[in-house]
Amino acid sequence: MSDGSTPMAPAPGCTEDRPVLKERGQREVFCGLTGIVWLHRKIQDAFFLVVGSRTCAHLLQSAAGVMIFAEPRFATAIIGERDLAGMADANEELDRCVRQLLERRPDIKLLFLVGSCPSEVIKLDLSRAAERLNVEYSPKVRVLNYSGSGIETTFTQGEDACLTAMVPTLPDAAPGAAPSLLVVGTLADVVEDQITRIADKAGLGPIRFFPPRNSQDLPPVGPNTRFIMAQPFLTDTAKALTDRGAVQVNAPFPLGVEGTTLWLKAAAEALDLPGSHVDVATAANRDRANRALDRYRPELEGKRIFFFPDSQLEIPLARFLNREMGMELVEVGTPYLNRTIHGPDLALLPADAMLSEGQHVEKQLDRCVAARPDITVCGLGLANPLEAQGLTTKWSIELVFTPIQGFEQAGDLAELFARPLNRKTRLVA
């Protein structure tokens, strides 16, 4: 197949002169709609209405339906043949669905119209639909739109698209205010609270988080805003915030002790505070986290790990597992590599680490099976088939659905990788 692969081509613009294998072919990844599964829990008064096909509804149901028994805060307006044949005005149909929805869920304050592959291909203009519906439902409900289609977004990029759509709605920060810190990217509530406590102790506060837990509580943004990303998949959000005048702070991602320390120091320095403030304020946390990591190091040290592309978390995870847990990197695959955002983590990877961007899943499987890594990080479509071939896997989606950032979660993060190996040793035959 002409997959356009460029084996080990030097990556232009990389922070280092580091080769990256770029591949094209079948990609075994989720589309951006999947982001709804966690975003609808993070922003509690928001509702996500996908405009798409039965496939889109089926995806959300399969990805989330296992866990969700109550009526969820997402739904699909399924495009029918009448909409395609022009027998029904798709815009009127959409308005009718939104009316029906808002009557059923009067508690909604923020409605996202989420584009899909079918809606993008037939060029249904959801941004105009959002404008139109805003006129009708403002100020009770704000209507925004973004695309979570597979043709444009991969898995966590759906969150990027969602947050990018929210950026223009953020209030302006007061001019001349002191520099303030904004943490960008969905984090577990408990992680946000820990970061807040450390920030208070180290004098970084007050800090704000984006996305907020409630759509009525939007953080202000302006030229005095310093923003630091807590998640690596927010390329467009970063650009949108920069366009509002905010200043981006680059750092390794807050995974593990080293990552969290460097992340906090970068935040401090952006606020013109010495990094030593962070050292002092977090000494106990770091010590504790190191103790937690010690528990899992014997299980992970020297083990060889292979990452299939999934969430863009692969590079910072590989950095943590390599530097703090002593794991050997066989291949680190990422769906998309942003050299600015991933730069600080890339710089900490061993020089010979094999990186790949994009995917030709059959060739990548061939490489993986030939290398026989001790543990393979991959999606649920590949995990059991690889286990059946005798490989040990760690399913990657869990890394998006588990609190893993910060000092107190460092041990938990290591445990996620130790657990499948531990399990292998427990099961007889």
Partner 1 sequence: MELTVWTYEGPPHVGAMRVATAMHDVHYVLHAPQGDTYADLLFTMIERLKKRPPVTYTTFQARDLGGDTAVLFKDAAQDAYARFKPQAMLVGASCTAELIQDDPGGLAEAIGLDIPVVPLELPSYQKKENWGASETFYQMVRGLAGAHAPAPGTERPPRPADRPARVNLLGPTALGFRHRDDVVEIKRLLGEMGIEVAVTAPLDAHARDIARLGEADFNIVLYPEIGLTAAKWLERTFAQPYVQTVPIGVGATKDFVREVAALAGIDPEPVLAANESRLPWYSASVDSNYLTAKRVFIFGDGTHALAAARVARDEMGFDVVGLGTYSRERAKDVRAMAKELGLEALITDDYLAVEKAIEDSAPELILGTQMERHIAKRHGIGCAVISAPVHVQDFPARYSPQMGFEGANVLFDTFVHPLVMGLEEHLLGMFREDFEFNDDAMPSHLATAGEGEIRVQPQPSAPNGAAATNGSAVEPAADATGEAGTHWDDSALQELKKIPFFVRGKVRRNTEKFAADNGVATITVETLYDAKAHFGR
Cα 259 versus chain centre, distance: 17
Structure tokens at 35: 């982001």
118 belongs to the binding site for partner 1 (CB under 8 A): yes
Q: Which stretch binds partner 1 (CB under 8 A): 9-17, 68-76, 126-134, 215-223?
A: 68-76
Interface residues for partner 1 in 408-427 (CB under 8 A)? 408, 411-412, 415
The Cα 163–Cα 242 span in angstroms is: 13
Q: Which of 75, 34, 116 is nearest to 311 (CA)?
A: 34
Report in angstroms the alpha-carbon separations of 158 from 117, 149, 234.
13, 8, 9
The answer to whether 346 touches 14, Cβ cutoff 8 Å, is yes
106 belongs to the binding site for partner 1 (CB under 8 A): yes
* Cβ-based nearer residue to partner 1, 11 or 90: 90
The Cα 356–Cα 336 span in angstroms is: 9
- Which one of 39, 113, 117, 375 is in contact with partner 1 (CB under 8 A)? 117
375 belongs to the binding site for partner 1 (CB under 8 A): no
140 belongs to the binding site for partner 1 (CB under 8 A): no
75 belongs to the binding site for partner 1 (CB under 8 A): yes
Q: Report in angstroms how near the CB of residue 329 gets to partner 1 at its nearest.
A: 25
216 belongs to the binding site for partner 1 (CB under 8 A): no
Sheet holding 328-334, edge to edge: 6-10, 19-23, 355-358, 328-334, 304-307, 375-378, 393-395
Structure tokens at 12: 């232009």
Q: Report in angstroms how near the CB of residue 177 gets to partner 1 at its nearest.
A: 29
382 belongs to the binding site for partner 1 (CB under 8 A): yes
28 belongs to the binding site for partner 1 (CB under 8 A): yes
Q: Report in angstroms how near the CB of residue 427 gets to partner 1 at its nearest.
A: 15
357 belongs to the binding site for partner 1 (CB under 8 A): no
- Which one of 5, 6, 15, 55 is in contact with partner 1 (CB under 8 A)? 55
The Cα 51–Cα 115 span in angstroms is: 6
135 belongs to the binding site for partner 1 (CB under 8 A): no
The Cα 59–Cα 64 span in angstroms is: 8
* Cβ-based nearer residue to partner 1, 2 or 425: 2
- What is the three-class DSSP state of 210? strand
The Cα 265–Cα 253 span in angstroms is: 12
Q: Report in angstroms how near the CB of residue 56 gets to partner 1 at its nearest.
A: 8
DSSP 275-313: HHHHHHHHHHHHHHHHHHHHHHHHHHTT-EEEE-SSSS-
Q: Name every residue whose Cβ is closer than 8 Å to that of residue 58 and which is 6 or more positions away in sequence.
A: none
> What radius of gyration, in Å, describes the C-alpha atoms of the chain?
22
Residue 31 labeled ligand binder: yes
150 belongs to the binding site for partner 1 (CB under 8 A): yes
* Cβ-based nearer residue to partner 1, 132 or 244: 132
Interface residues for partner 1 in 223-282 (CB under 8 A)? none
* Cβ-based nearer residue to partner 1, 9 or 122: 122
* Cβ-based nearer residue to partner 1, 16 or 193: 193
- Which one of 7, 12, 17, 66 is in contact with partner 1 (CB under 8 A)? 66
Reported in sequence order, the residue ranges of 232-271 that DSSP labels E, i.e. its strands, are: 247-249
Interface residues for partner 1 in 292-351 (CB under 8 A)? 292, 295-296
* Cβ-based nearer residue to partner 1, 157 or 237: 157
- Which one of 21, 77, 255, 337 is in contact with partner 1 (CB under 8 A)? 77
Interface residues for partner 1 in 172-201 (CB under 8 A)? 189-190, 193, 197
71 belongs to the binding site for partner 1 (CB under 8 A): yes
One-letter amino acid at 75 equals: A
Q: How many residues bind partner 1 (CB under 8 A)?
A: 85
The Cα 250–Cα 275 span in angstroms is: 15
**Binding-site entries for [4Fe-4S] cluster:** 31, 56, 117
